Structures are given as structure tokens and as C-alpha cells.
Amino acid sequence: MSGKPIGVFDSGIGGLTVAKEIMELLPGESIVYLGDTARVPYGSKSPETITRYAFEGLNFLLSKDVKLVVIACNTVSATCLKELQENSNVPVIGVIDPGAKAAVRATREKKVGVIGTERTVKSGAYESAIKNMDGNIKILSKACPLFVPLVEEGWLDREATYLTIAEYLMPLKREGIDTLVLGCTHYPLLKPAISRVLGEGIKLVDCAKETAVVVKNTLEDSGLISRRIPAEGIIHKYYVTDNTEKFREIGEMFLKRKIEHIEKVRL
């Protein structure tokens, strides 16, 4: 059982930031990644459509005999995590709770900003999670739908990017937040740009890193952690619903390593 892979589901390519953190924290684990690139992005779609797509993704990963599933997509985690958990025979971990916990630990002024896709922000999932841990924290949310296309265009260090960041985030800074949750898997790539605009005083919470820690703890607690690296080495597999070339190209920028085993599938 402990030799089985970890499944990671995302609407597209962004979940690779989560996969990367898991690979670094748990070098003995192999990953089966599924990116629904034919239907990406999910962030502006309705809860019903997102839920239908998410179940197709979960079932695909379960068919690959994974020991645990990570819902790397904030939008899916915010929309239907509980339903996915209730319909899975292996643990299902989302990215909201780990990010919320880190924010609660980080804030001193008890003023936290949360940014994400339209759907993630509308769901109020981070707010509920944070409020459940500390009812005194004030939360300011903002949907930033232009950040994902900016990252995918590779505009990580351009004037237009800095202006867009300022337009979205300066109002939150003026309100006095001291912590900002990057509630979308693409956003860690904008960390340097966001830091430059907001200055050093605001702590950025990267949900990918926090989620990897929860994955490690869950595997250890349930005795599912891999104790030895197989003789043939660790093999990560990537499945996508649209063509593999573009995923490979942008994906290697996210992952900072080669993507070797990749296959196009239909959900």
C-alpha cells in the first residue's frame, strides 16, 4: 500500500506548484498528476460544472490505484472538497485548510487578505476556514482573474504586471493586512512581483508548501508513507486532457524539472 503513488488533480497546469513541493518534501513518493487542460480554467465556471468535472478527475485518479488524492486546485477545493472526500475510499486533501492554518499562524494584526479566482473568492471557503480557527481575524478578499493569464503568458516581471497587481492589491494594503493568502496555484510564480508591489511588511502564504506538509503528516499518521525508493527510481506520471506539448513546455517552468511520462486522456 505504501508503494502506491499519490494522485494530484488540477484544472490545468497550476497544480504543478503543489506537485513540486510534494516532490521536494517527500522524495520517496511517486506522483500521478492529472490536469484537465481541455477544460481549464475552472475559476469562472459554476459550482455544478466544477463539481461534475472534479468527480471525473477523482475517479480517473482512483482508477490509477493511488493511496491519497490531493486536490491541488483552489477552485475545486473551495467548491466541492467535502463531496469528493465522502465519495473516495482514500484520503482526499485540499489546499484551503493548509493555507488558512498558515495564515492564522502568520498574522499579528489579525488582518488577512485572501486572493484567488472569482469562484474561490465567491465561495468564502478561506473565510470560513480562518474564522473557524480564530473568530477575531478580519478577512479581506479579492478575486484577481488577470493573474492566471499573466503567469501563463510568462509576464512575471513587466510593467503591466506590476500595475495589475497594484490595481488589485493596494486597496487591501491600505486596509492594513499583514498577511496575504495566495489562494490559487498559479500565484506563487508572481511572489517576487507581488512582494515588490506590496513591500516586505506583508507575509505571503503559499498554499502549495503548506499542503505538502499536510500530505506528509497524513501519510505518516496512516502508515502509508513510502519508506524506500524503488530500485528503478521514482517515476512521476502526468495525464492531461488536451495536447501534451504545451503542458510539457510550460509545466517544466513550473516544476523546474523534466516531464518525461506524459499522456493525453479523455475523462
**Binding-site entries:** 10-11, 42-43, 74-75, 185-186
C-alpha 82/C-alpha 93 separation (Å) is 10
**How near is the Cβ of 91 to a copy of itself at its closest, in Å?**
29
Task: Name which position in 11, 17, 37, 74 contacts a copy of itself (CB under 8 A).
Answer: 37
- Told to check if 152 binds a copy of itself by CB under 8 A, we report yes
Task: Name which position in 117, 123, 164, 226 contacts a copy of itself (CB under 8 A).
Answer: 164
Q: What angle do CA 140, 145, 147 make, to 5 degrees?
A: 95
User: What stretches of 49-208 adopt beta strand conformation (E)?
Assistant: 68-71, 92-93, 111-116, 138-143, 179-182, 203-206
Stretch that binds a copy of itself, among 2-10, 80-88, 92-100, 157-165 (CB under 8 A): 157-165
Which of the 8 DSSP states describes residue 190? Answer: G
Which amino acids are annotated catalytic?
Answer: 73, 184
Peptide bond into 98 cis (omega under 30): no
**How near is the Cβ of 94 to a copy of itself at its closest, in Å?**
22
- Told to check if 39 binds a copy of itself by CB under 8 A, we report yes
In the numeric block, the cell 491519497 is attached to 68
The nearer residue to a copy of itself, 16 or 130, going by C-beta atoms, is 16
Stretch that binds a copy of itself, among 17-25, 61-69, 236-244, 251-259 (CB under 8 A): 236-244
- Told to check if 185 binds a copy of itself by CB under 8 A, we report no
The nearer residue to a copy of itself, 73 or 129, going by C-beta atoms, is 73
DSSP character string of 45-71: S-HHHHHHHHHHHHHHHHHTT-SEEEE
The nearer residue to a copy of itself, 24 or 153, going by C-beta atoms, is 153
Near a copy of itself in 241-260, by CB under 8 A: 241-243, 246
Near a copy of itself in 209-228, by CB under 8 A: none
The DSSP bridge partners found for residue 150 are none
**How near is the Cβ of 12 to a copy of itself at its closest, in Å?**
10
Q: How many CA atoms lie within 13 A of 72 on its CB side?
A: 30
Residue of 19, 13, 61 lying closest to 41 (CA atoms): 13
Joined together, the cell numbers standing for residue 121 give 473568492
Task: Name which position in 62, 145, 195, 214 contacts a copy of itself (CB under 8 A).
Answer: 145
* Under 8 Å between Cβ of 95 and 71: yes
The nearer residue to a copy of itself, 163 or 229, going by C-beta atoms, is 163
The DSSP bridge partners found for residue 70 are 8, 93
The DSSP bridge partners found for residue 240 are 35, 264
Q: How many CA atoms lie within 13 A of 183 on its CB side?
A: 38
**How near is the Cβ of 259 to a copy of itself at its closest, in Å?**
17
**Where does this chain bind a copy of itself (CB under 8 A)?**
37-39, 44-46, 48-49, 145-146, 148-150, 152-153, 155, 158-160, 163-164, 167, 241-243, 246
